[in-house]
């Protein structure tokens, strides 16, 4: 797990966009896992800027989003379909036929989860997954207590998650109680993961993710089991980490290795 501590959310967004950009340049038909909410917006804006500058194209990529509310029509202002269309897909050259989200308005949510897993498998799996983290340590809508082997399925949202998301609705009463979400096992199947966290409100969850035990009570802690995870944090989100100086030291060495400034004695 690579822990990268940056100054602010803008630096986080640029670093995440670098990772996506490098993958797409190397593999134009990459399969991307995407997230919603306030945390990834800066990354999406930076990717759009790079597209408009002619630095990147999304015309061949395939995307899969982590989750969708159950019970909201696709054109609802707070559906994740609407979020992705307004904040990313319509702003660049995505082929929307290749942009997938779980179907929150389906008649049979259990079958919808199976179908979504099959679509991901048919695409060859996800090359790079973008994640945020909830204040209680959830990833996607995998709430505390979720099975670490879970696949895409129907999930009941906790009151904490509904409260956190209520700012996007007129009242908490309008926040859906159910969602279809990729499971923790689904996320662990991806080739590479980048998780973003900013703000002091995420500090406890980040500490549990990076330094706590692997437990279903902190779903994000399962990322410790993945071989290629990068955690991008701002200063505030990193404040509870007990080994913060070590993470900074390791990142300095890692950046030197990447720019080939470390002598062979370190290799």
- Which CATH architecture group holds 2-241? 3-Layer(aba) Sandwich (3.40)
Q: Where are the alpha helices (DSSP H) in 88-133?
A: 109-122
Side-chain-side CA neighbours of residue 176 (13 Å): 20
Catalytic residues: 67, 136, 138, 143
Side-chain-side CA neighbours of residue 203 (13 Å): 13
Q: What are phi and psi of 107, to 5 degrees?
A: -75, -35
CB atoms within 10 A of CB 166: 14
Largest CA distance in the chain: 61
For the chain, which residues make up each domain, given as ranges? 2-241
User: Do 19 and 49 touch, CB atoms closer than 8 A?
Assistant: no
Residues 22-41: tens digit of each pLDDT: 999 999 999 999 999 999 99
Q: Coil, helix or strand for 178? A: strand
Describe the crossing of helices 9-26 and 41-52 by its angle, rounded to 10 degrees. Answer: 50
Per residue of the chain (267 residues), what is the pLDDT tens digit? 999 999 999 999 999 999 999 999 999 999 999 999 999 999 999 999 999 999 999 999 999 999 999 989 899 989 999 999 999 999 999 999 999 999 988 889 889 999 999 999 999 999 999 999 999 999 999 999 999 999 999 999 989 889 988 888 988 998 899 999 999 999 999 999 999 999 999 999 999 999 999 999 999 999 999 999 999 999 999 999 999 999 999 999 998 888 875 444 333
């Amino acid at each position: 797990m690579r822990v990268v501590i940056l100054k602010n959310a803008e630096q986080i967004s640029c670093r995440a966009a670098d990772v996506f950009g490098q993958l797409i340049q190397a593999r134009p038909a990459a399969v991307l896992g995407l997230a919603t909410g306030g945390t990834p917006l800066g990354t999406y804006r930076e990717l759009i800027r790079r597209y408009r500058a002619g630095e990147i194209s999304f015309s061949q990529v395939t995307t899969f989003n982590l989750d969708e509310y159950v019970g909201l029509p696709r054109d609802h202002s707070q559906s994740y379909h609407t979020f992705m269309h307004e904040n990313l897909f319509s702003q660049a050259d995505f082929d929307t036929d290749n942009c997938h989200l779980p179907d929150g308005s389906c008649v049979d949510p259990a079958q919808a989860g199976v179908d979504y897993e099959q679509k991901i498998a048919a695409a060859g799996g996800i090359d790079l997954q973008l994640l945020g983290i909830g204040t209680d340590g959830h990833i996607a809508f995998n709430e505390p207590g979720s099975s670490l082997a879970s696949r895409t399925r129907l999930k009941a949202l906790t009151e904490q998650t509904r409260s956190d998301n209520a700012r996007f609705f007129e009242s908490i009463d309008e926040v859906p109680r159910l969602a279809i979400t990729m499971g923790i096992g689904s996320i662990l199947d991806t080739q590479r993961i980048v998780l973003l966290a900013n703000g002091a409100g995420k500090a406890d969850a980040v500490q549990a993710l990076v330094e706590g035990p692997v437990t279903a009570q902190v779903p994000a802690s399962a990322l410790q089991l993945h071989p290629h995870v990068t955690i991008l944090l701002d200063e505030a989100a990193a404040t509870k980490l007990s080994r913060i100086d070590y993470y900074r030291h390791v990142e300095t060495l890692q950046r030197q290795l990447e720019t080939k400034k470390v002598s062979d004695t370190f290799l």
